[in-house]
Structure 1
Amino acid sequence: MMYKGKNYKIQYRRLFLLLFLAVTLLSSILFGASYIIAQMQPIEKKPLAIYTKHTSIRSDSVKDADQIIAHYFPKGKNPPPKPPIKTDRKIVALTFDDGPGYESTDRILNTLKRHDVKATFFVLGSKVEQNPEMLKKIHNEGHEIASHSYSHPNLTKLKGEEINQQIKQTNTSIKNTIGTDTIYLRPPYGAYNKEVEDISKQKIILWNVDSQDWQLRDTEKIKNHVLGSLKPQSIVLFHDIYNSSADAVEKIIPELKKQGYEFVTTSQYIEIMEPK
């Protein structure tokens, strides 16, 4: 009896071992099949955020990395940039907006004449009509004259016909006063768009150094700001309607000459920086 009972125990152990092996094998088969099926499924692309200064530029309409790259870095939309102009010349164009004024403009003209400097005056058509004699003096002393609109509105806020009126009235006022047309436009506030360009048919001229004279109204502060902001090739924005600007220009010109700057008009600046 003892031998028979021992035999049963051996058989039970074998049966248990077989069951364990069968379960293990079945689990392995099922897991392997699941893994293979998962690998056969297409991989879903996860949204990708591109960060600039810790700010995501991903919008809800952009679903994955490929779309983000195509959306924010499109191919073929922008023309290749022009090669930078290489010049060692230190040039500066002094430009004056919002005139012609009266005493302040006259003082600026006297300073320019004394230092043999030619500048560009971006005039308002309404001011030309108020003070045509000053425009004639600017022109007769060899300075360049360009448009700054008729009444200084933000041209991008106007309708097409209103833009045209601002441009046309100013051009007419200038031509009636000095007999010549102007080919340049400095839009008020530097604000312009394609519609302004198309309607004006004039070359848009901005600046890369703002004297801040309209805000500072202090001779020394204006002078220090300009001298501290100069670039090797600069177009400096002044307003010839402030006496503080006239005082500042009188101090700035000698300093620029000491630094080796060549004074040019807007046309001369363009010829140097955008050679044909």
Structure 2
Amino acid sequence: MLRLVHTLVFLLPALFLAHSIKASAPKAAVYTGCKVPNTVALTFDDGPYINQTDISKMLVEKGAKGTFFVNGYNYECIYGKKVAARLQATYNAGHQICSHTWDHPDLTDLNATEIQAESDKIDVALQKILGITTQFIRPPYGSYNNMVRQVLSNKTFIIWDFDSGDSVGASVQESENAYDQAIAGNVTSLLALNHETEKTTVSDVLPYAINKLQAAGYNLVTVAECLGMAPYTSVEPLGQRDATWFCPEERSGD
């Protein structure tokens, strides 16, 4: 018994210190809205999907910019020839490209090693394809906790203050009404969540929202612009396809 007490006397301070270090570890900054007045950041999750080109063209035609939070392996492999070319075209059009993790898990369900891998894999892909390093990440489902923020402390988390509802079954009318209500509320700015994988978002809701927002006097800008921050921590020329451009999941049976 005495030995057990003696052991605990030495272990408890160590355990307390370990807890203190973890609790005081740096955490990623989290933004839930824009900082620059009179701006709207239209964001699109879950690509690069086939609708991305249409979204990009629509925004450019209206003198607007968007922000795309992309995955590495969700609906399609980011390294696919058509997918990578689509993403490069979107980037070249002046839109901002950010991380949405590799394959869209709830990061709070993962351990530290898995969380880091989800971030690293998509970062590597964006560097290879676009030549960029981004600090911006949107955790899937907007789900995060202190551990996720600590593991990805060098990132900036981007959530939202407006949800079009397109990914949870909102009708076109419901999404349009949501934009109308936000505008009627005279909000200073808007960080809007949309999904490029939803067909009616592209065909119906987005054209409506762009026209209404611009008519109300909002500037449609990237997330970086609406926060007054740089979009990337480094920028190099577009990458050239090589043997490393593949998704491991597609070769699992090799």
TM-score > 0.5, shorter chain as reference: yes
- Pick the structure with more helix per residue: 1
Q: Distance in 1 between matches of 2:42 and 2:130?
A: 21
TM-aligned CA deviation for residue 261 of structure 1: 0.8
CA contact (8 A) 1:217 1:244 kept: no
Q: Distance in 2 between matches of 1:119 and 1:244?
A: 17
Out of 244, 257, 262, the residue aligned to residue 214 of structure 2 is: 257
Q: Using structure 1 for the length normalisation, give the TM-score.
A: 0.64
Match of 1:222 in 2: 175
CA contact (8 A) 2:71 2:103 kept: yes
- 1:244 and 1:194, CA in 2 relative to 1: closer, same or farther beyond 3 A? same
Q: Distance in 2 between matches of 1:218 and 1:106?
A: 23
Establish whether residue 124 from structure 1 lines up as the match of residue 41 from structure 2.
Answer: no
Out of 137, 146, 153, the residue aligned to residue 89 of structure 2 is: 137
Deviates more, 1:215-224 or 1:254-263: 215-224
Q: How many residues align?
A: 186
Establish whether residue 192 from structure 1 lines up as the match of residue 144 from structure 2.
Answer: yes
- 1:107 and 1:204, CA in 2 relative to 1: closer, same or farther beyond 3 A? same
CA contact (8 A) 2:64 2:219 kept: no
Unaligned runs of 5+ in 1: 1-84
Point out the structure with max Rg over C-alpha.
1
Out of 40, 43, 51, the residue aligned to residue 92 of structure 1 is: 40
TM-aligned CA deviation for residue 88 of structure 1: 9.0
Unaligned runs of 5+ in 2: 1-32, 230-254
**1:199-218 to 2 correspondence within 5 Å?**
199-200=151-152, 201-216=154-169, 218=171
TM-aligned CA deviation for residue 195 of structure 1: 2.1
Out of 138, 161, 164, the residue aligned to residue 113 of structure 2 is: 161
Q: Give the SS at the match of 1:129.
A: coil
CA contact (8 A) 1:155 1:188 kept: yes
TM-aligned CA deviation for residue 140 of structure 1: 0.6
CA contact (8 A) 1:213 1:222 kept: yes
User: Which residue type is aligned with residue 245 of structure 1?
Assistant: T
Q: Distance in 2 between matches of 1:146 and 1:89?
A: 22
Match of 1:270 in 2: 227
TM-aligned CA deviation for residue 197 of structure 1: 2.0
Q: Give the SS at the match of 2:37.
A: coil
**1:236-255 to 2 correspondence within 5 Å?**
236-247=192-203, 248-255=205-212
Q: Using structure 2 for the length normalisation, give the TM-score.
A: 0.69
CA contact (8 A) 1:216 1:222 kept: no
CA contact (8 A) 2:42 2:220 kept: yes
Q: Distance in 1 between matches of 2:170 and 2:48?
A: 18
